[in-house]
Structure 1
Amino acid sequence: MNNDTRMYREAAQAPEVVRRQTESNAASLRALGEKLRERAPRAVVTCARGSSDHAATFARYLIETHLGILTSSASPSLSSVYETDTNLADAVFLVISQSGKSPDLLAAAERAKASGAYVVALCNTPDAPLTKLAHHSIDLRAGAETSVAATKSYIASLSAIIHVVAEWTRNQELIAALAAAPAQLQQAWAADWSAAIPHLRSAINLFVVGRGYGLGIAQEAALKFKETSGLHAEGFSSAEVQHGPMALVRAGFPVLAFSQSDETRKGIETLAKDFLGRSATVLLAGGNAPGAVQLPVVAAHPVIEPMLMILSFYRMVASLAIARGFDPDVPPHLRKVTETV
């Protein structure tokens, strides 16, 4: 699956990005962890667009499972369009953005700050307006990313979120798992998912499913199928897909399922068998279902595994795009930075 696209080259940098970020941000995030313990927020509100919003989905599951704090997503248009003030006193407002300059995110962060929220920004542009507005800014340290499709910056967002929660909870198991992640990411980059390409080269529609920590990467993979390969894909929770969406499944309908090694695995495997029983084509990353196309995964802490699987996916989808006649670096009708209002 070799190619020379910018997307491919930039995704390959993810292991070093995570290593650099974790080491460089250690002192800053220890301080943030102490500040968050002192503040004891009643809620966390995330705010993001696109791939960053998929990272926010991951953050919601990680924060709620490890801290028991209600975490919800804010709609930026409430601030930028409707000019609505929401009471966010005693809340953490977590903003995730590559550029840190989208007007709607800035408006949302500014109103959140004015209402009493503690604003934390994850940003890949250190001197962006968002970093200056936030109470605490975390540099993603992904470096320049010129391909329109975000790859290493998305993985950098996931690793930064894990680092925040690990320090907030003083969870040494998570801290150790994050320290091991760069080497595991290198293994994940080498994992060969090319077996998926023949099943997706001529596909028109696709389901991508995950659950818990894996839902955010299912959403992210669905977006990447659309923007790099012109493939209509929808990301679903493995629970939600069993409702209305299941009616679309026919013989040969492709399904990509992500399954990290936690309490959600049994349900993903059962769902995969159900899809196979309907003669769907199931591409399974993690777990086992006889008849599925098994995609190799690197075993790790279940919080880390989604980050590894999405990197293996990026390598595959960059090559799928070429196989489908697309340039993954220049998707039609898209720009690298979309400044929504």
Structure 2
Amino acid sequence: MVKMWEEICEQPAALKRCLETNREVINMLVEALDSHDISSVVIAARGTSDHAGIYGKYVIESTLGIPVALAAPSVVTVYGKSLKLKNSLVIGISQSGKAADVLEIIREGNKQGAITVAITNFNDSPLANEASYHLYTDAGLEKSVAATKTFTTQMYLLANLAAVWAKDADMQQQLSKVPDLVSKTLELSDVIKEKVQRYRYMNECFVLARGMNYSIAMETALKIQETCYIRARAYAVSDFHHGPFAMIDKDMPVILLAPEGPSLKDNEEMIHKLKDAGAELVIFSDKDEILELGTTSFRIPKAGSDLLSPFCNAVVAQMFACNLSLARGLNPDSPRGLSKVTITK
């Protein structure tokens, strides 16, 4: 069994563990946040960690109403400029904790007296040591280059931080269901292994979603790119109506994440538009009427909210990419030209 698949299957336990590991730190962090006039949140990350940050942006903004910016580290590392971070919560996310550009954003925040937080999978990493607070994903060593369990644990920590900060007990209760939802999602493994064979000769595709699942569309495209060497592009459904739709022609594969929730109406409109254009639709959903519209469909567990469905969709995407890579005769653990730790500045 490839490492990527093993690590996909470890996620229910990793999610439970990471929350227990960080309860006390999250409570201490929220006490500090409550004593400061936080006017914004700045998140610095790259790649998969950046996608977790985008999920966190949606959750924090929709829960707390505090604007969240995704940092452009090049402003500091390439152009040598300073950011005004004094009244911000500054979050740096990195699986290894060695991302040099993310580290510079945390240092900039520290210089200005901002509250700084690192989210990493290593307690002794440079990022963990630099930040005022460290949220440890505690996912266990991740050996596959393609990140899986570190991604969902990063998301989980961001969501739980938002819930505790907002003093939202109902949201915390909803989030407690995530490990079990992921366990149920893993039951799709045999179905995915069978259906993915249809796409083993695919050379390009689009991945679409809206709202909180937009981050998962981006992560799905990345997983397909790095494990299958397929030209996959992610878009928000709202953006795809514009210029990108012109690229759709007959039999073009489009993966659409369309769970029940506030964004479903827009997703359904796009699905019908794509069908009329002759696209090959791969749909992730928990709603029967939507699943019936797909050329290929995967039924995710009923999550009940856009807060939770991204975890189900993320795991389906991971299984889809891993199995597609194997069907194409590739090794998803060791994508060509990539290494587990990528340091940019």
Q: TM-score, normalised by structure 1?
A: 0.96
RMSD: 1.3
1:211-250 paired onto structure 2 within 5 Å: 211-250=210-249
Q: Following the alignment from structure 2 to structure 1, what is the Cα–Cα distance between the partners of residues 74 and 279? A: 38
Instruction: Name which of 297, 301, 304 aligns with 1:298.
Output: 301
Point out where structure 2 has 5 or more consecutive residues left out of the alignment. Answer: none
Aligned residues: 338
Q: Deviations over 1:5-55 (max 9, x none)?
A: 100001110000001111221122122222222223100011000000000
> Tell me, what secondary structure is at the counterpart of 1:26?
helix
Alignment correspondent of 1:153: 150
| Residue identity opposite 1:295 in structure 2 | F
Alignment of 1:176 with 2:179, yes or no, is no
- Residue 89 of structure 1 and its aligned partner are, at CA, apart by 1.3
1:30-49 paired onto structure 2 within 5 Å: 30-49=27-46
Q: Deviations over 1:295-336 (max 9, x none)?
A: 110112421111111112212211110111211001000000
Q: Following the alignment from structure 1 to structure 2, what is the Cα–Cα distance between the partners of residues 185 and 32? A: 27
- Residue 117 of structure 1 and its aligned partner are, at CA, apart by 2.1
| Residue identity opposite 1:165 in structure 2 | A
Contact 2:55 2:155 in 1 (8 A): yes
Instruction: Name which of 88, 92, 102 aligns with 1:91.
Output: 88
Q: Following the alignment from structure 1 to structure 2, what is the Cα–Cα distance between the partners of residues 39 and 122? A: 21
Contact 1:64 1:70 in 2 (8 A): yes
Q: Following the alignment from structure 1 to structure 2, what is the Cα–Cα distance between the partners of residues 165 and 220? A: 21
Q: Deviations over 1:60-97 (max 9, x none)?
A: 11111011111111111112221210111101111111
Alignment correspondent of 2:183: 186
- Residue 102 of structure 1 and its aligned partner are, at CA, apart by 1.8
Alignment of 1:318 with 2:322, yes or no, is yes
Q: Kindly tell me: are residues 38 and 199 of structure 1, through their superposed partners in 2, closer, same or farther at Cα, counting changes over 3 Å?
A: farther
| Residue identity opposite 1:258 in structure 2 | L
Query: Which stretch shifts more, 55-64 or 194-203?
Result: 194-203
Contact 2:197 2:327 in 1 (8 A): no
Q: Deviations over 1:109-132 (max 9, x none)?
A: 111221332111111111111111
Q: Following the alignment from structure 1 to structure 2, what is the Cα–Cα distance between the partners of residues 38 and 265? A: 38
Contact 1:33 1:169 in 2 (8 A): no
Contact 2:92 2:103 in 1 (8 A): no
Alignment correspondent of 1:82: 79
Alignment correspondent of 1:104: 101
Contact 2:182 2:312 in 1 (8 A): yes
Point out where structure 1 has 5 or more consecutive residues left out of the alignment. Answer: none
